[in-house]
A and B are shown apart, each in its own frame.
Chain A
Amino acid sequence: DAKTTQPTSMDCAEGRAANLPCNHSTISGNEYVYWYRQIHSQGPQYIIHGLKNNETNEMASLIITEDRKSSTLILPHATLRDTAVYYCIVEGGNKLVFGAGTILRVKS
């Protein structure tokens, strides 16, 4: 599984867009980019995933660069409830390998 690199922490003002970057320069052609988040000690929550194209759902948007070596998760209007650890995971098989993730703090 390809390794990912994320900033340790980020702050975002409530109501503003939160842009969380992820580097995955060793990603291979059949590996997907997944984003999960974990609030306190709850189970990881699926947010979004993509292979090559940008994706959007009701929670977030995922922007993947053309060379697929990096991606950005965008929460368009962050709320206090979006405060969590966000994990960028590259996955091509049958397991998710979690790193330390990015601690996102949304502040009022």
Chain B
Amino acid sequence: EPEVTQTPSHQVTQMGQEVILRCVPISNHLYFYWYRQILGQKVEFLVSFYNNEISEKSEIFDDQFSVERPDGSNFTLKIRSTKLEDSAMYFCASSEGLAGGPWGTQYFGPGTRLTVL
């Protein structure tokens, strides 16, 4: 069964460093998402992406964050200058999208645990 994969599973970085989290969505999916979950808190939406453009972003997704689909298979989240409060699990998701309906069922990857020291 196709699945979303994410690398690395755990990333440790120093405050102020740049990190890139990588995701390989399900191959025929057209819509891509990033969510994050701070330990003990709710899963929070960060950004949705379609047709090489951001469709929607949350207040969390400020200028320090960017997303890119550098090739036909990868989807990345970059944090330019990490802060302590960026420590969280970051989940990538993708969906096939359905015309005339919702963007389709989102399937999540296993997550990348980011620890900022």
- Chain A: residues with Cβ within 8 Å of the partner, total of 21
Would you call A44 and B45 a contact (CB within 8 A)? Answer: no
Distance (Å) between the CB of B102 and the closest chain A CB? 6
* Residue of B33, B44, B45 contacting most chain A CB atoms (<10 Å): B45
Residues of B within 8 A of A (CB): 4, 31, 33, 35, 37, 42-45, 48, 50, 55-56, 58, 89, 91, 93, 101-103, 105-111, 113
Q: How many A-B residue pairs have CB under 8 A?
A: 57
Q: Give residues 31-45 of A contacting B (CB, 8 Å).
A: 32, 34, 38, 41-45
Complex alpha-carbon distance, A44 and B106, angstroms: 9
Distance (Å) between the CB of B44 and the closest chain A CB? 7
Would you call A95 and B48 a contact (CB within 8 A)? Answer: yes
Would you call B107 and A46 a contact (CB within 8 A)? Answer: yes
CB-contact partner of B105 in A46, A87, A93, A97, under 8 A: A46
